[in-house]
Amino acid sequence: LRFLMLALLYVFLILVVRAIYRDSRAPAASPVAAPRKQKKKARPQLVVVAGDRNLGARYQLPEEINIGRAGESDIALDDTYASQQHAKVFSNGTSYYVEDLGSTNGTYVNGRKISYPCELRAGDRIKIGKTVFEFRA
């Protein structure tokens, strides 16, 4: 009986030492998720939200885009209240701006007539003649 008790004590001690040894070892490197590919950020756009026959049309914004009634405008409007060369939207590399080009009826951003380049923020509404664009960044 003593012999059996001594054997059980040794087995118990071996299991305890083994458990301590496993816990004290450096943990295995946890798997690291592969870096996610960043989605290419979509270019900002102007979306026609009112007034033009092209309601819902989307225009991707390059570095600079001209808007007016002239056929050679990047965005040509069929709007008698728009000037031939009415406004331009341009980027300085970090932000987009809209500038009135001396139009007869003016360019409005969120209901305010602008007289100098105005920085655009997502959701801003640009009114040129009867056409209203929404800036989406």
For the stretch 67-71, contacts whose Cβ atoms lie closer than 8 Å and that sit 24 or more positions apart, written own/partner, are 67/128, 68/101, 68/103, 68/128, 69/129
pLDDT in tens, 32-81: 666 666 555 678 999 999 986 788 899 999 999 999 999 899 999 988 89
Domain formed by 45-136, architecture: Sandwich (2.60)
Domain extents in the chain: 45-136
The answer, yes or no, to whether residue 21 has pLDDT greater than 90, is: no
- Cβ atoms of 95 and 117 within 8 Å: the answer is no
